[in-house]
């Protein structure tokens, strides 16, 4: 037997795809579902909503005639590009069931599932899970199975009963030719000869069929029955998330987007769980008539998969949007991911902690304290960098530089932290957390070592000059308390005989 016949092909037909890419099943936030809607192409109706079909409208009706039959009809131009995006998106979701997935025409997907049956406890259970997954994504699907891709596509398109254990010649032999996707012109010619079923067609001489209807007609028969190889082009797994929601009625109150955003974020979290990934950044685009009105860029302090966190940060960003007035589409996308490992390195693990014996013992007895503290720190950072303007919340990275003002540099909190310089030692001198960008020169009459308001606590500490970039003066640093309150970090330049305030301890 031909190996092609030993495979099991499952075709997915999405009859309402041209309409469902514009509508969502959650009527609670999309009231447009309850009114008649039609998708048109070249001024003819191609797809109808249930409410439109009830009015008596038919596929193929001119849109001008349709308005006369249904005065409150809403017509949408078919968007082939959006349909292809949806098909690719669905195919990526189905990758959890089989790696052998291909696009099989405008509204069809083809899956080779023979190697997945054992994993999902048989074909019936696999088919049910795929159907439920598609329904959860908001799509109406008809599934059909057979031993060839062509026969599976026909089974789905015409909703034929499953009989995939028998070859197509058995399951489709008595079917009418107009159910087998033959060219309409050939069907009419055969009907005039009294040939209306596949079995009747196969009784005709092959040479005569080829001469009368062409080689492509014969190839269609061979592909249908599996007498000729029908190789499929399968997609490759692309680890990216791009999902969209469209609204027929533009939304003016941005807070009304929370519910549909929750659905998108829920799908994102499910995507991360399925692929065992975390993310640290995602974007939400608010669009109107195909043009972006605002982009929400959400950064996390550490890679995570937390739906409630995603929703909270998105809500905060949404309240900051001022320019967008009307929104008819939201796009949620994420492209960069990290494996979801329980011991993943985070922002504050760039330097190994120097535990004392007591702290090491406490860490062994209560390991959850560290993770809880890290989680709290990340939550605080998430809130800060989401609420504050860009570039006002940043981290610090240590540099291999002895001068205080160049000892550290600001870094984006979302960047992978660089390892600390190898020359760092645990007994480095005391440094304040707050440094002035430019040292503040004191009044020339003030000498902190002689002034009664200053109390020297430590010093001097000599920091040598850097002749290579023009800083040719050495500095003598002191730690002094001012008026029994603030603790200053001061330095004295012998060449100029002047004092400078460089930092604050408290």
Predicted local distance difference test score (pLDDT) of residue 471 = 61
The 3-class secondary structure across 436-454, one letter per residue, is EEEEEECCCCCCCCCCCCE
Provide the token pair at 232: 């499929």
pLDDT of residue 428: 62
317: nearest Cα among 386, 379, 260, 263: 386
Per residue in 332-371, pLDDT tens?
999 999 998 765 444 444 444 444 445 445 544 544 555 6
Q: Across residues 115-121, what is the average pLDDT?
A: 93
pLDDT band at 464 (very low <50, low <70, confident <90, very high): confident
CATH 3.30.70.940 is held by the domain 3-21+79-225 = no
pLDDT beyond 60 at 384 = yes
pTM: 0.72
Contact 91, 101 (CB under 8 A): yes
Residues of the chain with CATH 3.30.70.270: 3-21+79-225
Q: What is the pLDDT of residue 468?
A: 63
**pLDDT surpassing 70 at residue 206:** yes
In which band, very low, low, confident or very high, does the pLDDT at 199 lie, cut at 50, 70 and 90? very high
Question: Which range among 344-348, 370-374, 390-394, 422-426 shows the weakest confidence by mean pLDDT?
Answer: 344-348
Compute the average pLDDT of residues 426-446: 82
Q: What is the pLDDT of residues 283-340, one digit of tens each?
A: 999 998 878 888 999 988 888 899 999 999 999 998 888 866 788 899 999 999 999 8
CA–CA gap between residue 198 and residue 213 (Å, rounded)? 15
Average pLDDT, the chain: 84
Q: Is the pLDDT of residue 470 over 70?
A: no
Which residue in the block uniquely carries the two structure tokens 């002689």? Answer: 450
**The most confident of 228-232, 349-353, 414-418, by mean pLDDT:** 228-232
173, containing H or E segment: none
- pLDDT for 337: 93
Q: Please tell me the distance from the alpha carbon of residue 323 to that of residue 74, in angstroms, as a whole number.
A: 28
> Which pLDDT score is estimated for 177?
95
List where CATH 3.30.1490.100 sits in the chain.
Answer: 241-339
Q: Is the pLDDT of residue 469 over 80?
A: no
In contact, 352 and 422? CB cutoff 8 Å: no
Q: Percentages helix, strand, coil for the chain, rounded to the nearest 5? A: 35, 25, 40
Residue bearing tokens 């989401």: 386
Reported as a pLDDT band with limits 50, 70 and 90, residue 425 is low
Strand duo 408-411 + 337-339: pairing: unpaired
Q: What is the pLDDT of residue 444?
A: 87
The alpha carbon dihedral of 174, 177, 179, 181 has a sign of positive
Residue 274 has a CB neighbour count (10 Å cut-off) of: 12
**Helical segments of 237-367, H only:** 258-275, 307-319, 357-365
Above pLDDT 70, what percent of the chain?
83
Who has greater pLDDT, 466 or 102? 102
Q: In this predicted structure, which of 145-149, 194-198, 219-223, 239-243 has the lowest mean pLDDT?
A: 239-243
Band of residue 204 on the pLDDT scale cut at 50, 70, 90: very high
If you ran DSSP here, which 8-state letter would residue 61 be given? -
Residue 433 pLDDT > 70: yes
Q: What percent of the chain has pLDDT over 90?
A: 52
Residue of 345 and 447 predicted with greater confidence: 447
**Contact criterion met (CB below 8 Å) for 475 and 492:** yes
Local confidence band at 146 (pLDDT 50, 70, 90 cut-offs): very high
CA dist., res. 304 & res. 58, Å (int): 49
Domain 241-339 belongs in CATH node 3.30.1490.100: yes
Q: Are 503 and 438 in contact (CB under 8 A)?
A: no
Extract the tokens encoding 177: 């030719």
> What value does the mean pLDDT take over residues 419-441?
73
Instruction: In whole angstroms, give the CA distance from residue 58 to residue 497.
Output: 94
pLDDT confidence of residue 352: 42
| pLDDT tens string 154-173 | 999 999 988 888 999 999 99
Question: pLDDT higher for 118 or 437?
Answer: 118
| The pair of three-digit structure tokens given for residue 140, joined into one six-digit string | 């109406």
């Amino acid at each position: 037997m031909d190996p092609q016949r030993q495979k099991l092909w499952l075709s997915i037909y999405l009859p309402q795809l041209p309409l469902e890419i514009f509508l969502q099943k959650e009527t609670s936030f999309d009231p447009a579902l309850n009114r008649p809607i039609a998708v048109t192409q070249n001024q003819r109706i191609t797809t109808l909503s249930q409410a439109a079909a009830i009015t008596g409208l038919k596929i193929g009706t001119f849109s001008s005639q349709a308005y006369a039959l249904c005065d409150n009809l809403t017509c949408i131009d078919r968007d082939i590009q959006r349909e292809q995006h949806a098909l690719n998106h669905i195919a990526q979701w189905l990758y959890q069931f089989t790696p052998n997935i291909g696009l099989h025409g405008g509204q069809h997907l083809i899956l080779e599932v023979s190697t997945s049956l054992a994993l999902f406890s048989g074909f019936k259970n696999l088919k049910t899970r795929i159907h439920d997954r598609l329904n959860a994504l908001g799509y109406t699907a008809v599934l059909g199975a057979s031993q060839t891709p062509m026969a599976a596509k026909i089974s789905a398109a015409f909703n034929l009963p499953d009989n995939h254990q028998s070859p197509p010649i058995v399951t489709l032999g008595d079917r009418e030719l107009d159910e087998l996707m033959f060219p309409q012109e050939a069907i009419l010619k055969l009907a005039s000869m009294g040939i209306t079923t596949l079995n009747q067609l196969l009784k005709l001489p092959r040479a005569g069929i080829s001469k009368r209807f062409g080689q492509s007609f014969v190839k269609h028969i061979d592909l249908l029955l599996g007498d000729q190889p029908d190789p499929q082009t399968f997609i490759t797994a692309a680890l990216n998330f791009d999902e969209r929601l469209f609204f027929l009625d533009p939304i003016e109150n941005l807070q009304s987007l929370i519910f549909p955003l929750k659905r998108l974020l829920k799908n994102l979290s499910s995507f991360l769980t399925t692929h065992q990934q975390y993310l640290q950044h995602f974007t939400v685009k608010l669009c109107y008539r195909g043009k972006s009105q605002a982009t929400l860029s959400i950064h996390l302090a550490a890679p995570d998969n937390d739906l409630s966190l995603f929703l909270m940060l998105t809500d905060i960003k949404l309240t900051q949007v001022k320019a967008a007035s009307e929104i008819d589409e939201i796009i949620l996308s994420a492209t960069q991911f990290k494996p979801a490992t329980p011991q993943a390195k985070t922002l504050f693990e760039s330097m190994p902690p120097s535990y004392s014996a007591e702290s090491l013992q406490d860490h062994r007895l209560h390991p959850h304290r560290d993770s809880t503290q890290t989680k709290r720190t990340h939550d605080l950072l998430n809130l800060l960098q989401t609420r504050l303007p860009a570039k006002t919340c940043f981290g610090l990275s240590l540099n291999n530089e002895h001068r205080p003002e160049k000892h550290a540099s600001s870094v984006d909190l979302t960047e992978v932290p660089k390892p600390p310089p190898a020359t760092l030692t645990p007994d480095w001198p005391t440094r304040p957390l707050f440094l002035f960008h430019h040292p503040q020169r004191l009044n020339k009459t003030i000498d902190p070592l002689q002034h009664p308001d200053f109390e020297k606590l430590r010093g001097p500490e000599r920091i040598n000059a850097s002749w290579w970039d023009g800083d040719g003066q050495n500095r003598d640093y002191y730690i002094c308390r001012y008026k029994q309150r603030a603790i200053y970090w001061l330095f004295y330049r012998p060449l100029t005989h002047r004092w400078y305030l460089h930092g604050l301890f408290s």
